[in-house]
Amino acid sequence: MATMQEDNAIGTQDAWITAPGGRLFSRRWAVGAGGGGTAPIVLFHDSLGCVELWRDFPAVLCRATGRDVIAYDRLGFGRSDARTGLPPPDFIAQEAQGSLPALRAHWGVRRFVALGHSVGGGMAAHCAADPGEGSCEALVTIAAQACVEERTLQGIRDAQAQFEGHPEQFARLARYHGGSAERARWVLSAWVDRWLDPAFAGWSLQGAMARVTCPVLALHGEIDEYGSTEQPARIARWAAGPAQVCMLPGQAHSPHREQPAAVAGLVADFLARAAGN
């Protein structure tokens, strides 16, 4: 069952979707009559994220682009069904094989734009690489990792220490993930333990990006604590189609939260140019 509400002329619809492994919570933002027939933007959240933690960015993005925006909680996150055990080493690629097909089937999405933040950028890349012939119009990554580097790992270690030393941060995380300390512990472990696992050290997006032929925009904050400028450079360099990097002065790992209108404007301009090619 879906629920409807209005957000300053943006219509939002919530739905629970049956996917491999359990139910996913999703939300769709729409301007007017469903984005005027343009391909919607599908959002892929970061390692600690969920639909609610996108905050107002989806609505801002919806207005800026004139496109519907769809976000969902991955299994184990937000309101979606819980998971047990550490995500497998190929968990980033798996979103393209399980969650995305279920999401597209439920919402009737044929063509789409993939946009992901942090690890969600890697998931978006895999969805752009293997979506079916011509169905992904463009890929946008925000602060995405293309490979595992020491800066990424040190950022994760620092964040882990912050959670361990500040119980109020852990309690805040739990509020976004079912209000459960057990769920929050799983979310944190799924991030920290998988990325710090030596067996994960060789992961990269190179193989996926070699199959991405649609236009690519890699956005990256110049002071991102989880990735050097080499991360977006590799995304662009490895892409099989046209790709560009846009560095964001003074921005860290979550520019879409700090400057949602500016980031949405960059995405809107990029999509307009891509549609004109």
**What whole-number distance in Å separates Cα of residue 127 and Cα of residue 73?**
16
Give me the residue label for tokens 């890699």. Answer: 218
**What whole-number distance in Å separates Cα of residue 218 and Cα of residue 243?**
8
Residue 2 in tokens? 């879906």
DSSP β-ladder status, 216-221 and 41-44: unpaired
b/e string for 142-151 if b means 16 or more Cβ within 10 A? Answer: bbbbbbbbeb
DSSP β-ladder status, 216-221 and 136-142: parallel
Residue 5: strand pairing partners: 12
Residue 20 in tokens? 């491999």
* Phi, psi dihedral angles at 67 (to 5 degrees): -110, 150
For the stretch 219-228, pLDDT in tens is 999 999 999 9
Residue 169 in tokens? 């941060």
For the stretch 183-203, pLDDT in tens is 999 999 999 999 999 999 999
Residue 137 in tokens? 């119009």
pLDDT at position 276, please?
Answer: 74
Pair 142, 255: CB distance under 8 Å: yes
Q: Which residues of the chain have pLDDT under 50?
A: 1-8, 34-35
pLDDT at position 50, please?
Answer: 98
pLDDT at position 2, please?
Answer: 41
* Phi, psi dihedral angles at 235 (to 5 degrees): -55, -45
* Phi, psi dihedral angles at 60 (to 5 degrees): -65, -40
Among 108, 107, 118, 30, CA closest to 77:
118
Q: Domains (ranges, CATH) in the chain?
A: 3-147+204-276 (3.40.50.1820)
The answer, as to whether pTM is greater than 0.85, is yes
pLDDT at position 132, please?
Answer: 66
- Three-state DSSP class for residue 97: helix
pLDDT at position 7, please?
Answer: 44
Instruction: Give the type of residue at 14.
Output: D
